[in-house]
Structure 1
Amino acid sequence: MSSEAREWVWEHSSSRGTARLVLLSIADRVADGNCVAWASLTSLVERTNASRTAVRDALTALDKSGELNVLDHLEGPQRSTVYRLPRAAAWLAKVATAQREDPEAYVEPPTDSDPVPELDEEAEKDLRRYGIWPKKSTESGTSRRNPTGTGSGPSRRNPPPRRAGIRHQHGTESDPQNRREPKLNRKGSSSGAAVTSAADWRVDPASHTWARQQGHLDRLGEDGLRAADTKWRAHRAGHAPRPTAAWAADWRSWIAREHAPARPNLYALPGGGPAPTGSMTRAEAHTAALLAALNEPTPTGTE
């Protein structure tokens, strides 16, 4: 379910910057349709490559936006914080309900009014296999735990240890918003993950191996996989540059949901219609639809 949760973040979350990276990091650990996952503050700092202060602020912002909740009565391994993506859970439940009636049904985009499934006792028992258990003791009252995993708010009384006697005026060295030394990994950067566009990103060996091991290469075939890759790049052409690892995760999610060439497409190309008949293969049909959307001449299948 982590791929569906990540897809919801990519396509429907309103989060930005560090908050988006934090939400993606938590979504990557989602194990089932309830969209529950555990994460420690330290692991989120390492995964997002941001400062502790930036991650704390991101968690607080996500909590206020309603896209992330803290489950106070549960805890993960080593007493880590347990989170839930309620709107992602509502979206997955909406999709599951529609597909039970018609596997090919069109599902309306998610809205804030979509009901969030209740997390009942049976669902919480299922979470135990993922290392999430009820707390041994909880304090009485309805006080809400801070989303950063600490008892109080994002405290400034205990800042990270200083490495030198002089502290930067505008944040810590690891804060991506540091004004003196912005930590933005551009294309070709020698540190951190390189940032690139979808058009420049190339399918890495790990992603190709994943497609083969998961059976997607056998299901789609080489031509179908290339056609799916072409559609993915067309739909991602207008997206802002991302780290290569983020493109890889997004590409895998797309391939996992792509239908085999003999079935209707999950993602319809802009301006596309029914697949052309005649001597054109399915891959050539995909290319024709793409070229038609771009208002370019369409090659025939007899060349």
Structure 2
Amino acid sequence: MSAEAREWVWEYSSSRGTARLVLLSIADRVPDEQCVAWASVASLVKRTNASRTAVRDALVALADSGELEVLKKLQGPQRSAVYRLPRAAAWLAKVAEAAEEEPEAYVEPPTEADPVPEVDEKRLQRHGIWPRKGAETGPSQRNPAGAESGPSRRNPTPRRAGIRPLHGTDSGPQNRSEPKVNRRYSSSGTGVTTADAWEVDPASRAWAHQQGHLDRLGEEGLEAADAKWRAHRSGHRPRSAAAWAADWRSWVAREHSPDRPRLRALPGGESAAASGMTRAEAHTAALLAALGGPTPTGTEA
């Protein structure tokens, strides 16, 4: 029956613009000759591609013109509003009555004097339209869209204003000056310690062995490097054990071997300071000694 209802809108409705689109959208949902259908403002906005305000104004204009009726005692799925095209229903009843007498009979165009048949609410239940519970839940005459049209613009929902307790809630400290216990460098946080208290973990020692640093430095050299590292890190802020382990490994990797020749050493084990040479002269003497040439003093290496 939606085709017959749309035909009446196209041929006999005086609506224009958005109102005509809204009326066609409702007529497209008509299931039988009673010309009753449910619709929400959101669905009408989507179908007509018009704004919510324009759809509301169109519903009011159609209701005022008599081409659309809001059945306030009925509601559709999700409490959507129920509408009827009364003049379309009157015209379809007039056509059906004339067809019973003579199928090919000419039917006069509809007029406002054509009687509108009564609504059979029981037949509408098969289409998801049921009586609305309580008269107070029916849509207002100024809001033909029904309950699904959204909150009124003149009566916006007030913001929630609860009573705050004097001393705050139990969810956290209310004093902004109270220190946080989970701060990054807080010594009270779990897994955070100082360099002096940190102990070399088995993974770090295994790393030193796998990378060859234990063989290069030896046990005594590794202990010396560890002691030097702790002396340099004693004034640092507490960190996590993983951070200290990474820093310790980096230090050990840069540590020199204890048997590495000193640049200031001279042939024969004499230091530059003891021989009275400058640092440049000591370097030259060490280079000549390695090449087998005469030293700056004229002696053979």
TM-score, structure 2 normalization: 0.48
TM-score, structure 1 normalization: 0.48
Of structures 1 and 2, the one scoring higher in RCO (CA 8 A, sep 6+) is 1
Larger Rg: 2
